[in-house]
Structure 1
Amino acid sequence: MEAFLKRFFPDVYGKMRGDTEISNYCKFDSQLLTVFTSSLYVAGLVSTLVASSVSSRFGRRTSMLVGGAVFVAGSAIGGAALNVYMLILGRVLLGVGLGFTNQSIPLYLSEMAPPQYRGAFSNAFELCISLGILIANLVNYGVQRIEGGWGWRISLSLAAVPASFLAFGALFLPETPSNVLQCSADHNQAKVLLQRLRGTSNVQKELDDLISASAVSRTIRHPFRNITKRKYRPQLVMAILIPFFNQITGINVINFYAPVMFRTIGLKESTSLMSTVVTRIFATTSNVIAIVAVDRLGRRVLFIVGGIQMIISQFTIGVILAKQLKDHGGMEKDYAYLVLTFMCIFVTGFGWSWGPLTYLVPTEISPLEIRSAGQSIVVAVMFMVTFVIGQTFLAMLCHLKYGTFLLFGGWVCVMTVFVYFLLPETKKIPMEQMEQVWRRHWFWKRVVGEEGVEVRTVEAANLSNPNTNPNPN
């Protein structure tokens, strides 16, 4: 919003409104604006590592409660900001809230869901994020019309509403059966909870799997050190590379810089904000499709189809900008709307592939003893890469121009090939039996071997049997 830029980032506002000598690609290149955008990611990176210990020791529900409460505080400070420092403080608190919630909610959903519907449950998390962004875009479009230029305060403050629902609702949620066993080893409580969740009394097989997993989990004192062991190498690689690839698709260029991009190619403020609404509608629709398709078609199909879709979109946008948007002057409106069309195709591909599956796959492939640490790594990598992109994108756009989108497109090619060769299918496989996937994979079976799996199985059997003496001598 122009009133927001004028109040807190006057140099950017001045370049946007008056300086015709500055390249179209460089008008929003501001270190202060970059710091404001990126501060959220630094805070999220640090807080998600703390959230891992909180989730393991005190439960997933506690992390959700902490995250929601801190997010409310950040929204209030941001909405009441009197200067840019107060604005950044509010954004830092938002980052802390996101660090806790992004670490705990995917864990909670995956552990609560039946195996045959785990993909749909987990993808609902991305759908809710997408709906939230859509509502935020609609709010931005509406409040920018308020006279006096204070509509941005409404935009920032309203973020406290869903956070309040989350914090309040967490008070009434049960803990997951896995976490009950991990924290208290109360088999009866876990069994009763499983029976309520599954709607049947026949849950003994699933309970036995959870008891074995929790027995191993309770022997682990340093999960971040443990996840580096050879037998967990596939999970560690996926926990690092999947969120890394998620961010270098360029999706946050669309999420956070879409208004900047649309202003760059010549659209007016209201049209620019409405364009972000349009792209988000497409993204939200694709999230719904992902919920329906993920447990039917599988994770690999969605990854690959979405990847091909994003490759075509990024390269096409790059070519259009190369031909039609020069350093000075505008772009013809028809071509501007063509760019918008391919951005919609891009977010649709992301919305049913890398968007929801980035939270689902690393969580479901990790055994209980490293699951919380693995999810923290996922969120930390996402925040770290997003921070780097946030710090560099506006400068990259200024210097690489249309080449920025060709660069992102090249990365999408790499990650699609990675999925094709190195990510096995995991649909409908119980989380406690996921080790079989790596033992059958053409590459990963050479890494994990049979020995690590056998040792872990014996350990689980011994620890879950109170009559077994691990040291008979």
Structure 2
Amino acid sequence: MSLHLESGGSSSSNSKQLYKAGHDKTTAYVVLVCLTAASGGLLFGYDLGISGGVSTMDDFLLKFFPKVYRKKNDAKTDNYCKFDSQLLTLFTSSLYFAGLIASFVASRVTRDYGRRVSILTGGICFLLGSILDGVAQNLWMLLLGRIILGVGLGFTNQAVPLYLSEMAPSRLRGRLTTMFQVAIGLGGTSAFLVNYGTVNIIPWGWRLSLSLAFVPALIITIAFAFLPDLPSSLIQRGHLDDGLMVLKRLRGTPDVQEEFNYLLQATELSKSIQSPWKSILQRQYRPQLIMAFAIPFFQQVTGINIITFYMPILFQTLGFGTNASLYSTIILGVISIGVTAIGALCIDKFGRRKVFFWGGSTMLLFLVLTGALLQWKLKSHNELSTSFGIVGILLILGFVVAFAWSWGPLAWLIPSEIFPLEIRCRSTPVIPVSSAWLFLFTWRSPPSS
């Protein structure tokens, strides 16, 4: 089949308008593909939720971090130093540093081989890493599994949001892309439930918690063995017949020539860019470039990943037992999922800027109040009363909820859509930056004395 650009007397502007009109059409197949792709967030959410809970389990600490176990049960140890261990920090952060490096490699793979291959690679790495962590016999075996998981995380977090933002119709892009954040919440809540169920399985409950990451990994791997790659990616790599066929299926009509022409034009334009990374440094792209760095940067320095990681530990510090702290994280996770779903509706209705501002302001308020409570009542060796402990949980809940409905989904969505298609096709510059900041700020352990 011969595919070519049809002039038809229409200008590039008209072609772009027709492309947008066609791209706004929603079919059941598009929604199904987007929801299936969003399930990639289960991988990230599960790992975020599982690590903090496992780190509170006595059997896990006795096997790999006996010094932490002794400090945890020593009443004389400073509240802020009970879990202070560079090896424990290495357990949590090794995954994210591996993800940091892998996200840049994944950028090249995504560009040259397509989004689908990147996501499949990530799923396979998660399968291997979860198995290795589940059967780990020593610390280095455990860390190797974490590193492999990090590689998988780097690939999936780099490609899934990009896949969603390019696949979803523009008028539903906010809602469908936010499903990635919903899936992260589902994965985290599932991890909290698993930890709550395995904490009393002595002495191997932690193995079950870590190895069950295999389940979401298997889901995403099988799903993307059947899902199509993006038309823009197929056209970019020269698979024009496949690109046209997928485009027709996504739009539910054979009349897609105008949109196909636009994708061809964008691809040709992207190939004419000799230095894509130099191009995005040009003045015309400066606002987009600043946003691509600033939004994921400030998303992470809010401390959301640290709070999510150490939430069970934090609740124990507030005076709750192991079971009570895990139970509290389940409640918080369920609420976050519901709020994220509400946020999905708000993003397209009210716009990105308003939701960002409302969410950020609320996060600031609750974070300041949480810090004030800990400084006022907890300090180094005090214990919070039950009433103040509940207040602390409610304040943390307010912070996480504000993040879940605003900053969480928008930090994935905005960097994915601010660059023109021709720039994204050539360099895929945005998501690796987001992924890099996502992993960079998890290195620090809880404050040391």
What's the TM-score, normalizing by structure 2? 0.83
- Please report how far the alpha carbon of residue 352 of structure 1 lies from its aligned counterpart in structure 2 after TM superposition: 0.9
Q: Is the 8 A contact 1:41 1:95 kept in 2?
A: yes
Of 63, 72, 89, the residue aligned with 1:16 is: 72
- Please report how far the alpha carbon of residue 290 of structure 1 lies from its aligned counterpart in structure 2 after TM superposition: 1.7
Of 259, 273, 283, the residue aligned with 1:230 is: 283
- Please report how far the alpha carbon of residue 110 of structure 1 lies from its aligned counterpart in structure 2 after TM superposition: 1.0
Residue 112 in structure 1 maps to residue 167 in structure 2: yes
Tell me the residue number matched to 1:156. Answer: 210
- Please report how far the alpha carbon of residue 300 of structure 1 lies from its aligned counterpart in structure 2 after TM superposition: 1.1
Supply the distance in 2 between the matched residues of 1:221 and 1:75 (Cα, whole angstroms).
41
Q: 1:392 is paired with a residue of what secondary structure?
A: coil
- Please report how far the alpha carbon of residue 209 of structure 1 lies from its aligned counterpart in structure 2 after TM superposition: 3.1
Consecutive unaligned residues of structure 2, counting only runs of 5 or more, are 1-56
Q: 1:82 is paired with a residue of what secondary structure?
A: coil
- Please report how far the alpha carbon of residue 221 of structure 1 lies from its aligned counterpart in structure 2 after TM superposition: 5.4
Q: Is the 8 A contact 2:91 2:146 kept in 1?
A: yes
Q: 2:369 is paired with a residue of what secondary structure?
A: helix
- Please report how far the alpha carbon of residue 136 of structure 1 lies from its aligned counterpart in structure 2 after TM superposition: 0.6
Q: Is the 8 A contact 1:286 1:348 kept in 2?
A: yes
Q: Within 5 A, what are the aligned runs for 1:249-264? A: 249-264=302-317
Tell me the residue number matched to 2:91. Answer: 36
Of 197, 209, 222, the residue aligned with 2:262 is: 209
Tell me the residue number matched to 1:181. Answer: 235
Which string of whole-angstrom CA distances, capped at 9 and with x for unpartnered residues, describes residues 353-385 of structure 1? Answer: 11111111001112234422221121122212x
Q: Which runs of 4 or more aligned residues in structure 1 lie more than 4 Å from their structure 2 counterparts after TM superposition?
A: none
Q: Is the 8 A contact 1:181 1:211 kept in 2?
A: yes
Change (3 A) 1:185 1:153: closer
Give the partner amino acid of 1:267: F
Residue 88 in structure 1 maps to residue 143 in structure 2: yes
Q: Within 5 A, what are the aligned runs for 1:6-85? A: 6-18=62-74, 20-85=75-140
Give the partner amino acid of 1:269: T
Greater Cα shift, 197-206 or 94-103:
197-206
Tell me the residue number matched to 2:31. Answer: none
Supply the distance in 2 between the matched residues of 1:72 and 1:288 (Cα, whole angstroms).
28
Of 422, 435, 444, the residue aligned with 1:379 is: 435
Q: 1:184 is paired with a residue of what secondary structure?
A: coil
Q: Within 5 A, what are the aligned runs for 1:298-309? A: 298-309=351-362
- Please report how far the alpha carbon of residue 127 of structure 1 lies from its aligned counterpart in structure 2 after TM superposition: 0.7
Supply the distance in 2 between the matched residues of 1:25 and 1:316 (Cα, whole angstroms).
18
Consecutive unaligned residues of structure 1, counting only runs of 5 or more, are 400-473
Residue 338 in structure 1 maps to residue 394 in structure 2: no
Residue 352 in structure 1 maps to residue 375 in structure 2: no
Supply the distance in 1 between the matched residues of 2:345 and 2:130 (Cα, whole angstroms).
33
Tell me the residue number matched to 1:126. Answer: 181
Root mean square deviation of aligned Cα: 1.6
Q: How many residues align?
A: 390
Which string of whole-angstrom CA distances, capped at 9 and with x for unpartnered residues, describes residues 7-33 of structure 1? Answer: 211111101102x33211221111111
Q: Is the 8 A contact 1:43 1:99 kept in 2?
A: yes
Give the partner amino acid of 1:130: G
- Please report how far the alpha carbon of residue 263 of structure 1 lies from its aligned counterpart in structure 2 after TM superposition: 1.3
Q: 1:171 is paired with a residue of what secondary structure?
A: helix
Supply the distance in 2 between the matched residues of 1:48 and 1:71 (Cα, whole angstroms).
14
Greater Cα shift, 71-80 or 286-295:
286-295
- Please report how far the alpha carbon of residue 242 of structure 1 lies from its aligned counterpart in structure 2 after TM superposition: 0.9
Q: Is the 8 A contact 1:227 1:374 kept in 2?
A: no
Tell me the residue number matched to 2:224. Answer: 170
Of 361, 365, 370, the residue aligned with 2:414 is: 361
Tell me the residue number matched to 2:4. Answer: none
Which string of whole-angstrom CA distances, capped at 9 and with x for unpartnered residues, describes residues 413-461 of structure 1? Answer: xxxxxxxxxxxxxxxxxxxxxxxxxxxxxxxxxxxxxxxxxxxxxxxxx
Q: Is the 8 A contact 1:282 1:347 kept in 2?
A: no
Change (3 A) 1:158 1:288: same
Residue 394 in structure 1 maps to residue 446 in structure 2: yes
- Please report how far the alpha carbon of residue 218 of structure 1 lies from its aligned counterpart in structure 2 after TM superposition: 2.2
- Please report how far the alpha carbon of residue 201 of structure 1 lies from its aligned counterpart in structure 2 after TM superposition: 4.4
- Please report how far the alpha carbon of residue 203 of structure 1 lies from its aligned counterpart in structure 2 after TM superposition: 3.7
Tell me the residue number matched to 1:460. Answer: none
Q: Is the 8 A contact 1:228 1:236 kept in 2?
A: yes
- Please report how far the alpha carbon of residue 204 of structure 1 lies from its aligned counterpart in structure 2 after TM superposition: 4.3
